[in-house]
Amino acid sequence: MSHRNPIHRLAAAVFVSGAALVLAGCYANADVPPKDAELGFEERATTIQRGQYLVTIGGCNDCHTPFKMGPNGPEPDMSRMLSGHPESVVVTSAPKIEGGGPYVWAGVATNTDVLNAQVALLQAELDATRARANTQLAAARLDRALGR
C-alpha cells in the first residue's frame, strides 16, 4: 500500500492531465499540415491563433513563465512568457520560518525546479513499479519452468 504525499498525487494528476491535453491536441488535427511556405497570411494567422489557444487552455504559462513582484505580490512576468526557469535565478534552500507569525510559506520566482523534481520522483516511482512487476513476472516464469 502506498502512502503518497498529497503533493505527489497532485503532481501526478497535473502530469496526466497535461499529457492528455497534449495528446488531445495532437489527435484533434491528425492530418499532416501543409508547410508554412504553402500557407497564406490568413492561414498562418489561424495556425498561430490555434497554438495560442492551446497554450492558454493548457495552462502552459502556469509553470513555464517566471514570476516577478507586482504591486499585489508575485505575478507572471509576461515579458518572459514561456521562457522557463531563468538562468540568473539560483534556487537555494528555503528560509526557515519560525514563530508562526503572519508568514507561513516561502517561495521562489519560478516553480520549474519543483516540477522537475516532482517529475523525477514520479519517474522513479514508475521505474520501481516496473521493476517489481518484472521481478514477479520472472519469478512466475521460473516457477513454470521448474514445474511448480
Sheet strands (E) in 26-146: 67-70, 73-76
How many domains is the chain partitioned into structurally? 1
- The residue assigned the cell 523525477 is 120
pLDDT band (50, 70, 90) for residue 121: confident
pLDDT of res. 1: 42
Most confident of 47-56, 79-88, 95-104: 47-56
**Is residue 27 domain-resident?**
yes
pLDDT at 143: 92
Tell me how far apart the terminal alpha carbons of the chain are, to the nearest angstrom.
Answer: 28
- Answer yes or no: is 22 within a domain: yes
As a whole number of Å, the CA-based R_g of the chain is 23
In a domain, 24, yes or no: yes
Give a yes or no: residue 1 inside a domain: no
Whether the full predicted model's pTM is greater than 0.75, yes or no, is: no
Residue 107 forms part of a structural domain: yes
Q: Which of 19-23, 94-98, 138-142 holds the top average pLDDT? A: 138-142
- Confidence grade of residue 101 (pLDDT, cut at 50, 70, 90): low
Residue 25 placed within a domain: yes
Does a structural domain hold residue 65?
yes
In a domain, 100, yes or no: yes
- Structural domain of residue 35, as residue ranges? 6-145
